[in-house]
Amino acid sequence: MDFDILLSPPIAFLIAMGIALLVYGFGKLLAPALDATPGKLEPYACGESFEAEKLSFGYSRFFVAALFFTIMHVAVLSVATVPGGVIAFRAVAYLVVIAAAISILYSDVD
C-alpha cells in the first residue's frame, strides 16, 4: 500500500484538523463545568474593582511601518534583479519614485 498520499498537503491538513478536534473534544469532556457566579465576569485589577472603559488602540503607526517594509522589500527585490549595463540607470529612477512614496507615507502619520 502506498502511503505517500498521506503526505499531500490537503490530506495532511485534514488529518491534523481531525486530531486537533479529537484533542479539543477530549479536553472539553475532562474540563469542569463553569459555575455562573456574579463576580466572575466583572473586571478586576490589583485587588480593586474598577469601572471598565472602552479602549481603542490606534494602529495607524503599525500600518505605516508595515507599508514601509513592504515598499522597501519590493524595491530591493526589483533593484537587485535589474541587469547591468545602460538599463541599470532605470533602477535609479525607480529608487527616486520609491523615495517619493516613502516621503508621502510619512508626511501625515499622526
pLDDT score recorded for residue 109? 57
Q: Which residue has the cell 494602529?
A: 59
CA distance 84 to 90: 10
Residues 99, 79 share a domain: yes
pLDDT score recorded for residue 19? 97
Tell whether the model's pLDDT for residue 26 goes beyond 90: yes
Residues 37, 16 share a domain: yes
Write the pLDDT tens digit of every residue in 97-106. 888 888 887 7
- Domain holding 28, by residue range, is 4-49
Please check whether residue 70 lies inside any domain of the structure.
Answer: yes
pLDDT score recorded for residue 65? 84
pLDDT score recorded for residue 63? 84
pTM of the model: 0.43
pLDDT score recorded for residue 88? 79
Mean pLDDT across 71-77: 86
Residues 43, 74 share a domain: no
Residues 98, 71 share a domain: yes
Provide the domain count of the chain: 2
Write the pLDDT tens digit of every residue in 28-65. 999 988 777 776 667 666 666 666 666 667 777 788 88
Please check whether residue 54 lies inside any domain of the structure.
Answer: no
Q: Please measure the distance between the N-terminal and C-terminal CA atoms of the chain and give it in whole angstroms.
A: 63
pLDDT score recorded for residue 79? 83
Please check whether residue 25 lies inside any domain of the structure.
Answer: yes
CA distance 43 to 41: 7
Please check whether residue 28 lies inside any domain of the structure.
Answer: yes
